[in-house]
Chains A and B, each alone.
Chain A
Amino acid sequence: MLHKHLLVPIGLSLVIGCSDNFDLAGVNSPVPGILQVYITSNESDRTINIAGQTFTVTGDSTEFLHLVVAQGRAYSDANSAVLYNGLAEYRELTQGYNIIDLDDDGAYQEYLIFYSFLPPAFYDSLKIAFSSDFISIGSFQIPVGTPADAEYLQLFEQRFEIQEEVITEIHLILNPFESLKRVKNTYEFQRLIFVDRVVITAMPDSLKQYYDG
C-alpha cells in the first residue's frame, strides 16, 4: 500500500516532469521555397504570313497576340500544389499578356506568370492552362481559339527541386506564330510551349517576412 505521505512528492515530480519544453529533436517543419514561372516568345519566331502578306513584329502598339494564363499546378508524384501570381496571393487569377510585345531592347518581353511558395520537395511536372483569343497585326484582327480536342491544362514534364529558402525559376518559351493554325476564318492556338531552362537562385531575406512568425 502506497503510504499517503509519498503522494505529494510523487505528484510534484509528475507536474514538474510534464513541462511544455519538450522538443522532438530532428523533426522540424521546413520553411518553403519559391517557384517562379516565366514565359517569353521565341526570338526566331517573329514573322507570320497572312493571306500572302508577311508581317514581322516591330513593336508597334497595334501588334497584339493575347496569351491568357489561367490555372497552374506543380506536381510531385500524385500530390499537387496550386500556383499563384504572387507570394501574398490566395486566389487563382486569370491573367492576359501580349506575348509579342517587345522590351526596350527590341527582344520579346518576358513575363512572370506564377510566383508562389511551394513545400520543399522534388517535383516532376507542371500543368498550366494556356489559351489565346485574339491576334492583331498589320491590318488584320483575327479571333483565336483553342482546338476542340486540346486538354485544358497543358502538361510540362520537367523535374525540378524546391529547396528551403531557394528560388527555382522555370523559364518557358512559346513559338507564337508557329502556334497559330488557320481554320476557316479563325486561328487555332496550338500552344507550342516548351521548358527552356531551370535556374536556381538564393531567396533574398526580404521575402522571409511572408512565412516568419
Chain B
Amino acid sequence: MTVKKRKYLLLCLGLISISGCVENFAVGEENENLPPTTTLANIPIPGDTLYALTTLAWDGGDNDGFVVGYDYRYTTYPLGDSLGSILQTAWVRTEENTLKISFSSPDVINRQFFEVRAVDNSANVDSTPANIEFFTTQTRTPETAILSPPNNAQFFILEEPNVWIQGITFKFSGSDRDGTIIEYGWAVDGGALQWVDAKDTVVVVAPSEFAQPLTGEHTFRVISKDDTYLLDPLGASIRFDLVVPTFEKSIMILDDTREDWTLRDIDDATVDAFYEDIFGVASIDNRNLATRGFPDLFRLGSYQMVIYHADDTKGDSEYFNFIDSGSQGILASYLQVGGDLIVIGDVITYLSKLLTPPVPNVGYTRPIDVIEDNFLYTYMNIQVVNLSQFSPGTFEGAKGVNGFSDVALDTSKIPMVFPHFGLGIQVAGIVQMGGFTIPISTFIGNDPYASNLPVAVRYYGDVFDVAFVGFPMWTLVYEDAKTYAAELLLNMGY
C-alpha cells in the first residue's frame, strides 16, 4: 500500500470512530445529594463537671460537596433542689469550628446536652448531629456599685457643654464571685441602657442625655454583665439634682471671717456692713459661712458673682471653708458654668495643703509652688508664691497697677502685738501667674520676700472671671477700700 493510500485509510477510520462515539453518549439519572457528617472534638470529656462558659470544637465533611456552616443547640436539665424547667435553645447557625458558649446554669448542678450538625452547600444538614453530655455548676450574678458621686448630690450644668464642663461624671465598679465583669450598662432617668467595656468605669454624661427640664431631680443607674452573660439583677442607682444657674441676682457675699483678736475683736455685723457698703450694690446678699454654711447650688446659681472674704489672720486654720475641698469643688463648678468670683484675704497662707510641699505656718522656704490642678492653680491662676514674713508684719498697703488705685492699711484695725505689731502679715507675693492673668496691686512694705510682688491679680477667663485680693480689705483705710471695690466691680463688668 502506498503512503498516500495508507493516510487516506487512517482518516476514514478516525472519522468513523468519532461519529460513533458521539451518537452513543447517554446521561443517566442524577444521584441524590448526600448529607454531610459531623464530629465533635474529644474535649471536654463527656460527663465532666465544668464552668458554665465552655469551649467546644467540631468539624464536618461532605462526600459530594462541602460544608458551609454548622447549627448548634443545647438542652439544660437543672438537677438541683429547685429542679427548674428544662431549657432548650433554638438551632444557632455558625461558620466557626469552635465557640465559647455560655450554658444556662440556673441550678447548683445542671446537665447539658449539646448538639451540632454540619450544613453543606446544598443546604442539606446532618440528620444525626454529633452530641456530648456534661454537667455545669451554677453561675452567680455579678454585683455593681457606684463609687461617685454620692446619693443626693447636686451639680451645676449647662444646656450646652463648654470647654470647662462637658457633663456629669459617674464612677462605678463591679464584682463577680465566679467570673469576671465584661461590660457595664448605664442609663440616666430611666432611659435605655448604654453598654461600655468593663475597663470603662468612668462615664461623663452630656447634658443632652438627661431628661428635660435639666434643673431638678435625676437618676443614674448602672448594672454589670459577667463572662457568662449574666446581668446584675439589681444594679446600683443614685438620685441627684442638676442646677442650671439662673444668674438672676447680682452679688452674694460669702463671709468666712472670724472676728477675733487678729481683727481686734470687732463684731461680725460691723465687718458685714463694711463689705456691703464698699461694694455698694443694690442686690447683695451677705451669708455668714460659720453660722449658715455653704449655700446649696440652687441658691448659689442664682447669683452672677460671689465675693468671698476671710479677713482674720491665723496660722493654718482648718475652719476656713475655702480650705475644704468640697467647698472648692462647689466654687469650681460655679465658675465652670459662668459665675464670677472675687476672693479677698490672705487665704493662700492657710491653704498649706495646696502648696508644694505642704508647709507649716512658719519657717518654710520660698518660693513655694502651688500644686497643679487644684483650685488656686486652675481657677485663680496662681502658680508660685512668696509669702511675706510672719513677724513682725511688713504689709503696709498695695500699689495699684493696670488701672487700679493704691490702698493703705488702717493700722488702727491691726493688732499692735505679736505677730503683727501694727502691720499686715503673711501676704502672698505672687511670683508666677497663669495665662490671661494680670497684676492689679503690688506689695508695699519692707519685706525680704514679697516687696513689689503682685498681691492682687485679675484673671480674664473664657467662661468666668476671677479677681484675687490677697490682703484683708477690712483692714484698709475706708476710702481706699471703697474706691478699690468700685474699681473691681467696674473692671469685672458689674
Contacts and interface: CB of A to CB of B under 8 A. Distances in A.
B436 interface: yes
A52 B460 contact: yes
Contact of A183 (B163, B378, B402, B437): B163
A187 B436 CA distance: 10
Given A50-B460, A182-B462, A184-B462, A139 B163 contact: no
A142 B438 contact: no
Nearest to B163: A184
Nearest to A183: B163
A139 B403 CA distance: 11
A182 B164 CA distance: 13
Nearest to B377: A185
B78 to A, nearest CB: 55
Contact of A185 (B381, B402, B438, B439): B381
A15 B402 CA distance: 91
Contacts of A187: 435
A185 B434 contact: yes
Given A183-B163, A184-B163, A141 B435 contact: yes
Interface in B235-255: none
Contacts of B462: 182, 184
Nearest to B440: A139
Contacts of A140: 435-438
A138 B212 CA distance: 45
Nearest to B401: A139
Contacts of A58: none
Interface string B417-452: 000000000000000011111110000000000000
B363 to A, nearest CB: 32
Contacts of A141: 433, 435
A186 interface: yes
A139 B435 contact: no
A51 interface: yes
Interface string B146-169: 000000000000000001100000
A140 B437 CA distance: 7
B163 A185 contact: no
A2 B320 CA distance: 116
Contacts of B460: 50-52
A141 B460 CA distance: 12
Contacts of B378: 185
Interface string B344-386: 0000000000000000000000000000000000100100000
Interface of A: 50-52, 139-143, 182-187
Interface of B: 163-164, 378, 381, 402, 433-439, 460-462
Which 10 A/B pairs are nearest by Cβ-Cβ distance?
A: A51-B460, A142-B435, A139-B438, A185-B435, A185-B434, A186-B435, A143-B435, A139-B402, A182-B462, A184-B163
Given A50-B436, A141-B435, 8 more contacts: A51-B436, A139-B438, A142-B435, A182-B436, A184-B163, A185-B436, A185-B461, A186-B435
